[in-house]
Amino acid sequence: MTQPPLESTLESLPVLALVGRPNVGKSTLFNRFTNSRDALVADFPGLTRDRQYGHGTFEDRRFIVVDTGGLMPESSDALALLAEAQARIAIEDADVVLFLVDASAGLLPSDRDIAETLRKLGKPVRLLANKAEGMGRARVADFFALGLGEPLPVSAEHGDGIAPLLRELLEKAPLVDHTPLPDDGTIRVAVVGRPNAGKSTLVNRLLGEERVLSSDQPGTTRDAISVKFEWNGRPFELIDTAGIRRRARITEVIEKFSIVKALQAIERAHVVIAMVDAHEEIGTQDARLMGLIAHHGRAMVLAVNKWDGLEGDDRKRVREMVDYRLPFLDFVPLHFISALHGSALRELMLDVVAAYQATTRDLPTAELNKVLEKAVERHAPHAVLGRRIKLRYANQVGRNPPAILIHGNQTDKIKDSYKSYLANVFREAFKLKGVPLRLEFRTGDNPFKGRKNELTARQQMKRKRLMAQSKKSKR
């Protein structure tokens, strides 16, 4: 049964959830959708336990994809039950569920169990027969017995059938807008973090009124709430998101975090304020979220809230924890604040404005090339097989985040450490505060590649004489 194309707005990107029993290729498909290696992939079942979220783009259409642990309805294993609970939450958030089965293994009883579970949940389902390299639709006809419509043969590993699938599902999803951001001066700021980190309190403090529901009870905010206001004479749009709950605490309906809403808020934002509670540990979930924000290219400011209630030793511990847990955010401004009492909020907002200016600014080509030239003079790229890598010129190719394209030769051989060096040089030269600068590299084609060197008549005669002399000398 073919599902209708997904429709969405920028505020509500389509969400695709990948489900199925273990080891059918869900993580491989996730990596193909997101053009990344974010999901772990191995040839044994049960590797993925919790949900993995990512952004995908296909033919200029954006979407969110969720990788889940394998569904095992009949299993009593504790980890399997946790994975199934995680998968059910992903299904609730999804617009369409992509149910993967293994075409090479054939129809199994566990596939029937999962199909029955999906039917009860009432979500649109697209049945994918994965690992179907070289198989036609007739070879996967057994899966019609699941009662979920026509099985589509695909190969997550090789990409077979993936393009038509996404073209069908995303036909009415919004196109990526490559035009410059509207210059109305409004700074869109998303506030994200765990439940009870103080996000709604921060929004209310900035607004000067109880505009957003705020409570000690975690999970008070269930959806993304957009509020417009002015600060220091500048227009802002604040987006308060539902809290992101650590997976170990997802026990009740109220505590299921809406990370999809957070991702959609991040998609809309110029700048993200990532909030953590100074009284709580910075966990893996926090680090993953902030890494996702940086990977998605959003400018970021990190706010450690409830700072006023800590003593000297505890403050030292929190600083050390930030350095230890979030070393990849060395470019992000760090603020220790009290959303309740308003401490350090002015400094926080000044850095939000600076991050917005950095992520939307134009970088003149002449200045970019001066900075590149000085950077190479100070520290040249390494040589490859005796040949020096040459970086010839740079130009800006994107904003929000700023993207710089560097032209040269052998650019595919440049080490990651040197790329980081160049990014830091550009960030410092142009004061790109809180911005995950993107560098792209392009090697110019050799115009003589594949062309034979045509000899003149005189050169051909000289070549014959030399070959004749060489034969005589060998005798």
pLDDT 10s digits, 173-215: 766 655 544 557 889 999 988 878 888 888 888 887 654 444 3
Contact 48, 69 (CB under 8 A): yes
- C-alpha 353/C-alpha 296 separation (Å) is 19
313: left (phi over 0), alpha (psi -120 to 50) or beta: alpha
Of 199, 186, 275, nearest to 230 by C-alpha is 186
- For residue 337, the model assigns a pLDDT of 94
Beta bridge partners of 187: 236
* Amino acid identity, position 308: D
The contacts of residue 155 (CB under 8 Å, 6+ apart) are 130, 131, 132, 133, 161, 162
* Amino acid identity, position 270: H
**Distance, C-alpha 31 to centroid of its chain:** 11
CA distances for 19 relative to 72, 107, 323, 329, angstroms: 10, 16, 36, 32
pLDDT category of residue 244 using cuts at 50, 70 and 90: very low
CA distances for 240 relative to 213, 254, 462, angstroms: 10, 17, 80
Q: Collapsing DSSP states into helix, strand and coil, what is residue 113? A: helix
Looking at residue 179, the DSSP 8-state letter turns out to be: S
To which residue do tokens 């997550």 refer? 156
Residue 155 has pLDDT above 90, yes or no: yes
CA atoms within 13 A on the CB side of 196: 12
283: left (phi over 0), alpha (psi -120 to 50) or beta: beta
CA trace torsion 16, 17, 18, 20 (10° rounding): -140
pLDDT category of residue 29 using cuts at 50, 70 and 90: very high
Q: Of the given ranges (290-299, 354-363, 370-379), which has the lowest mean pLDDT? A: 290-299
pLDDT category of residue 5 using cuts at 50, 70 and 90: low
Residue 1 has pLDDT above 50, yes or no: no
* Amino acid identity, position 278: A
Contact 4, 168 (CB under 8 A): no
Contact 66, 38 (CB under 8 A): no
- For residue 297, the model assigns a pLDDT of 86
Looking at residue 174, the DSSP 8-state letter turns out to be: P
459: number of Cβ within 10 Å: 11
CB-based burial label for 42 (10 Å; 0-12, 13-18, 19+): exposed
Q: What are phi and psi of 274, to 5 degrees?
A: -95, 115
Task: Read off the pLDDT of residues 79-136 as tens digits, 9 standing for 90 and up.
Answer: 455 556 666 777 877 889 999 999 988 999 989 988 988 888 888 999 999 999 877 7
Residue 429 has pLDDT above 70, yes or no: yes
pLDDT category of residue 405 using cuts at 50, 70 and 90: very high
Beta bridge partners of 56: 63
Q: What are phi and psi of 157, to 5 degrees?
A: -70, -40
- What is the residue-averaged pLDDT of the chain? 79
